[in-house]
Structure formats: structure tokens, C-alpha cells
Amino acid sequence: MQTDTNSSPSALTLLSEEEVMFRDAVAAFAEEEVRPRVMEMEKAGKIDPALLPKYFELGLMGIEVPEQYGGAGGTLFMVTLAVEAISRVDAAAAIVCDVQNTLVNYPITQYGSEAQKAKYLPLLTSEVIGAYALSESGSGSDAFGLATRAEKRGNRWVLRGQKLWITNGAEAGVFVVFANADPSAGYRGITAFIVERGFKGLAVGKKEDKLGIRASSTVELLLDDCEVPEENVLGPVGQGYKIAINTLNEGRIGIGAQMIGVAQGALNATIKYVSERKQFGKPLAEFQGVQFQLAQAATDLEAARLMVYNAARLKDAGKDIAREGAMAKLFSSQVSERVTSLCVELFGGYGYTKEYPVEKFYRDAKIGAIYEGTSNMQLQTIAKAILK
């Protein structure tokens, strides 16, 4: 191991030489390829299609996937580093990579049959975007109150229902979809399926017009007697709840990484601004009141970063991270909101305009308290863990 001497994150965080090189390569990619596209993607409300092949070329879409299936054979910690690095530039660009790795590749790698892994993972690591379809209009925080149904007909399953808030849905060619195959069994009837975009009965509906992460597509998914081959059931029938929970535990680390990246991006821009902006004849950075606010923000952010990193390390070590993942997501989203809000204020009137980057970081931060489990749901998970 070596000590990471990069000024941010701090030298207290131990990274291996390989991890430092990987992080720096992703950071360079974000600066060179993502940053020049940020404003146009924000205005257009979509990821530049020319950017997506570059994710695959750099190996960002299969970080944890074993090498035999075309992946990098890396770790969740490396996914965390990648998502954080891209989020410092644009959270919408980062979530493309995040969802692919934590919500799509992960469940297929962990629960897929050998045939499923051999068929889908090489595609997902080289050219096909994936999406995760769990939420519905009536089952957000109550993720297992699914109305989508799955009925077995011969050698195929037929899915009926509507999914909402599907990230990457506009670009995705493969979806991990959850439906209830036995409503009388409650959540024990929930089953996971691998659904291809071309399957009969599948349609992508409206795209949401969002507050933040605007370039990231969020769509509804319509399942109108969607026909899915029997061999595309992911894991055992009735075990979808287990797959969903374990997948979201991993996904929350990705959201934590996104939030610390957003906060760091805003803080970096603000430190530069206050060092140059003068009031009363001297830079804002020379006022103690400003210094103390920035110091508190940096301290909170470092604490959040270490929580996210710790949860990722524990997951890679094979530990149960239900509690640590919930804590990391909860705290990092809270810190990101506080830090980005402060940054807008320190920019003054300029911070409230789209001419400067902090208003976008502020808007992008809000989603951290909502998707992949609201803050209240994280608190519930943490409470159960400490009171059992």
C-alpha cells in the first residue's frame, strides 16, 4: 500500500498504486472528455451519444466483471473511485457508469447462470448500456409492494406492469426487471428477469424533466404482455427480493461516491473563486468567516468520503454492509447538500446563475437523498441494525 499524496482526497486515505493510477486515469478522462460536454448535455437533457463508447473503451462499464467475461476484474472500491472522479465534473455522466456497474453487472455476475453471464456480460462491458427496473408509481420506498406481474406460459414468462424512474432507460439495451410471479406469497413471489429492449411487449415511455442530473435519462418502462424466455429468469423464482436488496446495498455505495464527488467539485470551484474574488480590498479567502466555513465543509466532506470508502472496502472483503452502506449514503447525501448550498452562497449572486458551476452541483446534490432509498429508509435500515 502507499499513501495517496493527492491533496484531495487527503493523504490520510490509503490507496494502492494501482488504485491511484486508475483514479487519476478516470479523473483525466472526466476533464478531457466529460467537462467540455457538460453544459451542452445539461441543456439538451441527454448524454452525448459520442461519449458513451469512450466509457467502454476505458473499461469503465465492467469494472467488477471478471476478465473472462470481458471485464476488468476489479473491485467495488475501484467503482467508487471512478464514480467519485466523474461526479466532480458531472454527476449525470457519472451515474451512467454507476448504474451499469452496481445495479446491472453486479446482479448478473452474482446471480446469473453461466449461460446468462456468458451472453450478457461481454455485451455490457463492451457496447450495451444496462438499466435496473424496480420502482413503480405505488412502490417507491415500499419497494416490494410491486404491482408488476409475471405469469408463466409454457417456456416463457409474460410480464405486465409499469416501471418508473428508470435511470439509463433511454439508452439501455438490457434491463434487470423485477415482477411478482406469485402475489399470494407477497414479497416472496418477487422474481428478477433479464429483459432485452427488443423483446415483444417492452416499450420505453416518457422521459422525466428533472431538477438535477438532467443529462441522465430517467424514463418509465412499459410492460404490455412482455414476453421473456424462461432462461432469462435471473436467480431462482421468488428470490427477487433478495437480489434486489443485495444489489441496492452495493448501489448505495455508488450513490455515496456520487455525492462526495459532487461536493468536492463544488468545493474546488468555490476555493478557486474565493481566492480570486475581492471585496473590501482583499480576496474573500482572507476573511476568517469564509475560511471557517470552508474548513467545516472540507472536514464534513472528508468524513463522508471515509465512510463511503470504508463501506466499499468492507463489501470487497465479503462483509455485510447493509448498515455501513446506509450510513454512507445517508451522511454523504446530507454533506453534499450542505456543502453545495454553502458554495452557492459564497459565490453570491453569481452562484445563483448558470454561468457558474455551483448552481448545477447544488441541484445535482438533491437526488442523493432520494434515489436508491430515501434518507428516511436509510435511517430505518440503520435503526434496525443497531437495535436488533
Condensed to tens digits (0 to 9), the pLDDT of residues 5-61 reads: 444 545 345 799 999 999 999 999 999 999 999 999 999 999 999 999 999 999 999
Assess whether 225 and 256 both reside in one domain: no
CATH of the domain at 276: 1.20.140.10
Encoded amino acid at 345, one letter:
E
Assess whether 75 and 167 both reside in one domain: no
Encoded amino acid at 181, one letter:
A
Assess whether 184 and 112 both reside in one domain: no
- DSSP string across 226-266: EEEEGGGEESSTT-HHHHHHHHHHHHHHHHHHHHHHHHHHH
Which of 181, 204, 239 terminates a domain? The answer is: 239
Assess whether 348 and 365 both reside in one domain: yes
pLDDT given at position 157: 98
CA atoms within 13 A on the CB side of 234: 32
Query: Whose grid coordinates read 467519485?
Result: 84
Distance CA 93, CA 167 (A): 12
Q: For the chain, which residues score pLDDT lower than 50?
A: 1-7, 9, 11-12
Assess whether 268 and 338 both reside in one domain: yes
Q: How many domains does the chain have?
A: 3
Assess whether 50 and 96 both reside in one domain: yes
Assess whether 15 and 117 both reside in one domain: yes
Which of 211, 239, 267 terminates a domain? The answer is: 239
Assess whether 159 and 235 both reside in one domain: yes
Distance CA 226, CA 200 (A): 5
Q: Is 372 assigned a catalytic role?
A: yes
First to last CA, the chain: 36
Distance CA 24, CA 15 (A): 12
Which ranges in the chain belong to alpha helices (H)?
17-29, 38-44, 52-58, 76-87, 91-99, 106-111, 114-124, 240-276, 288-316, 322-346, 358-365, 375-387
CATH of the domain at 58: 1.10.540.10
Which of 239, 261, 279 terminates a domain? The answer is: 239
Q: Are 204 and 218 in contact (CB under 8 A)?
A: no
pLDDT given at position 7: 44
Assess whether 82 and 176 both reside in one domain: no
pLDDT given at position 4: 47
Q: Are 69 and 63 in contact (CB under 8 A)?
A: no
Per the residue annotation, which of 19, 220, 337, 372 is the catalytic one? Answer: 372
Assess whether 163 and 38 both reside in one domain: no
pTM of the predicted structure, to 2 decimals:
0.95
pLDDT given at position 6: 46
pLDDT given at position 13: 57
Domain extent, residue 102, equals: 2-124
CATH of the domain at 157: 2.40.110.10
Assess whether 246 and 200 both reside in one domain: no
Assess whether 182 and 50 both reside in one domain: no
